Structure 1
Amino acid sequence: MHPQMSWLAGKLDSAERLAVSAYYAQMPLPPVSRVGSAPGCSTSMARLYREGDPDRGLQACASCHGSQGQGVGLGNPSLTNQSARYIAEQLQRWRDGRRYGDAMGAMQKAAAGLRENEIRPLSDYIAGGPVPPDRPEFQEECQ
């Protein structure tokens, strides 16, 4: 949990929490941003994001968060416009059991399956905007 957010949320009653939730739920999603090629784009991080690693039982990030990080369904949030530092911190929190709330435990399992040396490059790749495999310049950017 995030200490400041926990403190603030603890000050709200149920009606206020619902009002804040409704406010944010009605906000439009920001457009997917791409700045040239994805920072940290590498074949291995693109593959990990899109395909996971079946040998390690690691599910693809894209299966829940979408091919471009847009989020899939109500329980899988968009990753667009999140900083690499934030993503890396959240992956560490999921991995260490300091973040929870995923009813099926998918994020805890996924983060636990990541190697320490994959967290930062994967976070950089996600923050840069995952490169969709059908983009013509994909081969140039990620090879």
Structure 2
Amino acid sequence: MPVFALHFALLAAAALTAAPGHAQPERAVPDTLAQRVAACASCHGSPSAPAPTTGPNYYPRIAGKPAGYLYNQLQNFRAGRRQYPLMTYMVEHLSDDYLREIATYFSAQHVPAPVLARASLPADQLERGRALVTRGDPALKVPACIACHGQRLTGALPAIPGLLGLPRDYINAQFGAWRNGTRRAAAPDCMATIAGRLSLADVAAVSAWLASEPIPDDAAPAADVAHPMPLACGSEPERR
């Protein structure tokens, strides 16, 4: 065997039999709920990585919403009453207890609210939206949004969500889902009833006005709303 070939063979054998170098220690991922719901926060925001505060934004801010509401929605996605494949995939195998734990976690979070662009609708259409939100329309048998979602529209305990800070496209999409039956809630489904009574122009006016209103500094949900509520809602049982 030529000398250079023997030398190469010896080097190769030495490389194969040499002791491995010190491997970098694996970095342990903390087993915390915050780590486990990081996928949720990537869309909905978290204290460490809030959703964009300016520019286009579709996903709703869920931080600070009532735990009862968040729990109901996670159940709805799991049961197919709400249709969004990514959400269904994430929760379809989770237990009720785990869903409740996730809901409680996000209800206690405080994430900066996005600054949404004001709607460019004509003034009379925005006024129609304000009237529907604050007074309703008796002729259509549509109650005011504030009758259920609170005078400040920040929601109410235990299970009514706030409406401010939601992107206009998201609000429109939810009304559309209620109208065509792809979003449902526990019967009686009060929001499906209301969505069916509103015209598309009214939906556009409501979403534009809501998305143009700033969130108050204290966006905590109200302790309760007046009972009886204007419509029976399966997700918010009447109290005696």
- TM (norm. structure 2) is 0.47
In the other structure, the counterpart of 2:188 is: 104
Q: How far off is 1:33 after superposition?
A: 6.3
Confirm or deny: 8 A CA contact 2:135 2:143 kept in the other structure.
yes
Please state whether the residue corresponding to 1:81 is helix, strand or coil.
coil
Amino acid of the structure 2 residue aligned with 1:128: S
Whole-Å separation in 2 of the counterparts to 1:53 and 1:29:
34
Relative distance call for 1:69 and 1:80 in structure 2 (3 A) is same
Q: Which one of the candidate residues 77, 90, 95 is aligned to 2:179?
A: 95
Whole-Å separation in 2 of the counterparts to 1:3 and 1:69:
29
Q: Which has the higher contact order (CA 8 A, sep 6+)?
A: 1
Between stretches 94-103 and 76-85, larger displacement belongs to 94-103
Q: How many residues align?
A: 129
Confirm or deny: 8 A CA contact 1:49 1:61 kept in the other structure.
yes
Amino acid of the structure 2 residue aligned with 1:100: R
Q: How far off is 1:108 after superposition?
A: 1.0
**Structure with the higher fraction of residues in helix conformation:** 1
In the other structure, the counterpart of 1:121 is: 205
Whole-Å separation in 2 of the counterparts to 1:28 and 1:126:
21
Please state whether the residue corresponding to 2:164 is helix, strand or coil.
coil
Whole-Å separation in 2 of the counterparts to 1:116 and 1:21:
32
Whole-Å separation in 2 of the counterparts to 1:20 and 1:111:
29
Q: Extract unaligned runs of 5+ from structure 1.
A: 131-143
Map residues 7-86 of structure 1 onto 2, 5 A cutoff. Answer: 7-28=89-110, 39=119, 40=121, 42-86=126-170
Whole-Å separation in 1 of the counterparts to 2:136 and 2:186:
19
Q: How far off is 1:25 after superposition?
A: 2.2
Please state whether the residue corresponding to 1:69 is helix, strand or coil.
coil
Confirm or deny: 8 A CA contact 1:56 1:113 kept in the other structure.
yes
Relative distance call for 1:51 and 1:89 in structure 2 (3 A) is same
Whole-Å separation in 1 of the counterparts to 2:191 and 2:213:
19
Q: Extract unaligned runs of 5+ from structure 2.
A: 1-81, 215-240
Aligned residues with identical type, % of pairs: 24
Whole-Å separation in 1 of the counterparts to 2:197 and 2:175:
11
Confirm or deny: 8 A CA contact 1:69 1:126 kept in the other structure.
no
Whole-Å separation in 2 of the counterparts to 1:66 and 1:33:
21
Whole-Å separation in 2 of the counterparts to 1:31 and 1:68:
15
Whole-Å separation in 2 of the counterparts to 1:108 and 1:118:
15
Q: How far off is 1:52 after superposition?
A: 0.9
Amino acid of the structure 2 residue aligned with 1:23: Y
List per-residue Cα deviations over 1:87-128 (Å, max 9, x = no partner). 110011112221111443211111111101221221111111
Q: How far off is 1:10 after superposition?
A: 0.7
